[in-house]
Amino acid sequence: MDLIETLNAIVGAQHVLTSGDLSAYEQDWRKRWHGKALAVVRPATTQQVAEVVKACAAAKVSIVPQGGNTGMVVGSVPDASGQQVVLSLQRMNAVRQIDAGNMTVTVEAGCILQNLQDAAEKAGFLFPLSLAAEGSCTIGGNLGTNAGGTQVLRYGNARDLCLGLEVVNAQGDIWSGLSGLRKDNTGYDLRNLMIGSEGTLGIITAATMKLYPLPVASLTAWASLPSLAHAVQLLGLAQKHLASGLTGFEVMGQFALSLVAKHFPQQRVPLWDSAPFCVVLENSDFESEAHARERFDHLMEQALDAGVITDAVVAENLTQAKALWHIRECIPLAQAEEGLNIKHDISIPVSRIPEFVETTDALLKRAIPGVRLVNFGHLGDGNLHYNVQCPAGADGKAFLQAQEPGVNKLVFDSVLAHGGSISAEHGIGSLKRDELPHYKSAVALDMMRAVKSALDPLGILNPGRVL
């Protein structure tokens, strides 16, 4: 039997896609890469995933695990050879169990993040991982990339929310590690090795994740600020006044907001044209709405009096709060509408972010007259999206071709000089693979290669990604 026939026998021929329009599986979200798959295989059970891996290993055919295909670093699409199998987890989307007493949920890898949030809420809990792609990204992809998003400041990233995994390894064996344990010191931490490995060490088929109490009230405010340094000051004030009630703190540069105003005019972006930066912040309260409002109003008054912010609006109700967050979440979409751009998802100590931006902006503007800089992101986590858009009227594709390597070197060298990391939450994929050796120590890379060859000696799991 050839491989396709074997795969048909395992998952059913209707779930082995080899013809028709497969672009949803073969092209990345940003449309930067168009690959060609030997087949897209859609198993329904962990057992089927294991059999698919065994069949591919026997045929020496490599596998690209895929969830919602919303990744930002070209990690979930096949190469152009037409020889890789895309293993889509989308049909494995069940919420298997909610353990209310243990405050955990066990969920299959293909479950869409928003569906998991909804299931948790229905059971009276909060599942806090939250990102703009939550309507289509999956929990398997979130763990594969160790996704961050807008609540990391309070609840941590995908890794921090995970207690256990079920994984099919490169040999096609199933590791059942779906523990809901908060403590387990029985040797090497395989769970943490898998999380963030971008499909290169194993295929996550299910996970046990932490749940939290739902806050009684959540308030959102939007403030304008004279500079990024003032945003860092506001963060300090908010942490002091709200403590663990501060559940979100996002910064947005004026040009980033102007793109939302331009491409989504139906959204009314507050205060953007009056200041170089705006911040959206969230206060979650476990006492009452009145308590939340009192603390929030006090914070805003203090910030205004101290000249840290120039103006502010506090959402009156949930609809207004959602509208404010929606503006922030629209920035990547508005940037995509504006055209191709060079993305940098960087991590810098919060205290050094203003200096990083000032220095790097100046270097880029000198190197590329007219360049447009899109700054926004998770300031509370020291995670900035520092994206470079071509000069107005220039062709995005030609700009990328001519400038991408030079721009990356300039930005990443500056990140290194400011004690940062070239990937905060999106991962390495194939987009940043060749940059990694310049910014990660040779010793660390050697250890990573040793892990990869020990767990996947044939190199069949997502080759060419990360390493």
Greatest Cα pair distance, the chain, in angstroms, is 76
One character per residue 105-144, x = contact with ligand 2HG (rule: CB under 6 A): ---------------------------x------------
Environment class of residue 311 by beta-carbon count within 10 Å: exposed (0-12), middle (13-18) or buried (19+)? middle
Helix (H) / strand (E) element for 274: namely none
d(CA 307, CA 145): 39
- State both tokens at 155: 């609840």
Instruction: Out of 137, 195, 278, 422, point to the residue binding ligand FAD (CB under 6 A).
Output: 137
Instruction: Out of 43, 199, 245, 253, point to the residue binding ligand FAD (CB under 6 A).
Output: 199
Q: Which of the listed partners (ligand FAD, ligand 2HG, none) does 68 bind, with a CB threshold of 5 to 8 Å by partner kind?
A: ligand FAD
Q: Residues 238-245: contacts with CB within 8 Å, 24+ apart?
A: 238/281, 238/299, 241/295, 241/298, 241/299, 241/302, 242/283, 242/295, 242/296, 242/299, 244/154, 245/283, 245/284, 245/285, 245/292, 245/295
Shortest separation between residue 343's beta carbon and ligand 2HG, angstroms: 4
The piece of 143-151, 226-234, 306-314, 392-400 that touches ligand FAD (CB under 6 A) is 143-151
State whether residue 412 is helix, strand or coil.
helix
385 binds ligand 2HG (CB under 6 A): yes
The piece of 125-133, 228-236, 265-273, 398-406 that touches ligand FAD (CB under 6 A) is 125-133
Pick 33 or 255: Cβ nearer ligand FAD: 33
d(CA 295, CA 315): 14
283 binds ligand FAD (CB under 6 A): no
93 binds ligand 2HG (CB under 6 A): no
d(CA 84, CA 63): 6
Distances 316 to 166, 214, 222 between C-alpha atoms, Å = 43, 20, 12
Amino acid, res. 212: Y
Pick 148 or 463: Cβ nearer ligand 2HG: 148
- State both tokens at 279: 């911040």
230 binds ligand 2HG (CB under 6 A): no
104 binds ligand 2HG (CB under 6 A): no
- State both tokens at 123: 């059971």
138 binds ligand FAD (CB under 6 A): yes
432 binds ligand 2HG (CB under 6 A): no
User: Across the strands, what pairs with 105?
Assistant: 98, 209
Count of residues that bind ligand FAD according to CB under 6 A: 37
One character per residue 422-441, x = contact with ligand FAD (rule: CB under 6 A): ---xx--x------------
**Given the structure tokens 């310049």, which residue do they identify?**
438
Instruction: Out of 387, 403, 414, 430, point to the residue binding ligand 2HG (CB under 6 A).
Output: 387
Distances 377 to 260, 277, 296, 385, 410 between C-alpha atoms, Å = 15, 12, 22, 5, 20
Instruction: Out of 191, 230, 295, 343, point to the residue binding ligand 2HG (CB under 6 A).
Output: 343
Is 372:396 a contact under the CB 8 Å cutoff? no
Q: Which residue is nearest to ligand 2HG (CB)?
A: 332
Q: Which of the listed partners (ligand 2HG, ligand FAD, none) does 137 bind, with a CB threshold of 5 to 8 Å by partner kind?
A: ligand FAD
d(CA 247, CA 309): 19
State whether residue 340 is helix, strand or coil.
coil
State whether residue 181 is helix, strand or coil.
coil
One character per residue 297-336, x = contact with ligand 2HG (rule: CB under 6 A): -----------------------------------x----
Amino acid, res. 390: C
208 binds ligand FAD (CB under 6 A): no
Count of residues that bind ligand 2HG according to CB under 6 A: 6
- State both tokens at 106: 């066990």
The piece of 69-77, 117-125, 261-269, 315-323 that touches ligand FAD (CB under 6 A) is 69-77
Pick 333 or 363: Cβ nearer ligand FAD: 333
**Given the structure tokens 């919420």, which residue do they identify?**
95
Residues within window 349-378 making contact with ligand 2HG, judged by CB under 6 A: 377
Interface ranges with ligand 2HG (CB under 6 A): 132, 332, 343, 377, 385, 387
Interface ranges with ligand FAD (CB under 6 A): 29, 64-72, 75-76, 89, 109, 131-133, 137-138, 140-142, 144-145, 147-149, 198-199, 203-204, 332, 425-426, 429, 462, 465
